Structure 1
């Protein structure tokens, strides 16, 4: 019975985190529409934090997620992604993650 309660609690938490992601994305779009830099920053930080926490609840460590992001950025960079070719955004973010 306790195990079933734990599974149900975890499932509800994951569902709640999913709604948090949608809420943060909505807040981000509204902040971008309004042109509020402070609200954009707040929404982006909430979106990123919620993503990390959801990953952890799904069994992915923060370190593992960081490594996956670094790998994704490297793959996109090698494929010649437009953001890299034009602005070097992928290299810049990769460097930031590497230095953490």
Structure 2
């Protein structure tokens, strides 16, 4: 019985390492795309950013976090940014827009 548990632990460690590498590759890909400037397409940026978000959720799940707890923490951070008048909110109102988006999704 212990062998099955050891296999599960090793499988989880392996997938966590794979997710970390994929996340790093996606972030690097986004940085390269932004740096190149010329060939930036919204579709390429959308693909990379959505992949980063997806991988982050999956990594959180493998590390023992629920999707709901991640969402709640993001919402808390949005609210904190609004209270503290984060620079991105002052200049662009992005946090207010994101807060409204989260509220309408429910």
TM class, shorter-length: over 0.9
Count of residues in correspondence between the two structures: 100
- Which structure has the greater CA radius of gyration? 2
Confirm whether residue 49 of structure 1 aligns to residue 51 of structure 2. no
Gaps of 5+ in 1: none
What's the offset of the Cα at 1:33?
2.5
Q: Is the 8 A contact 1:31 1:37 kept in 2?
A: no
Q: Is the contact made by 1:77 and 1:84 (CA closer than 8 Å) also made in structure 2?
A: yes
Counterpart in 1 of 2:13? 11
Q: TM-score, normalised by structure 1?
A: 0.93
RMSD: 1.1
TM-score of the aligned structures, taking structure 2 as reference length: 0.88
The alignment status of 1:90 with 2:92, answered yes or no, reads no
Deviation at 1:36, TM superposition (A): 2.3
In 1, Cα distance between the equivalents of 2:103 and 2:17? 31
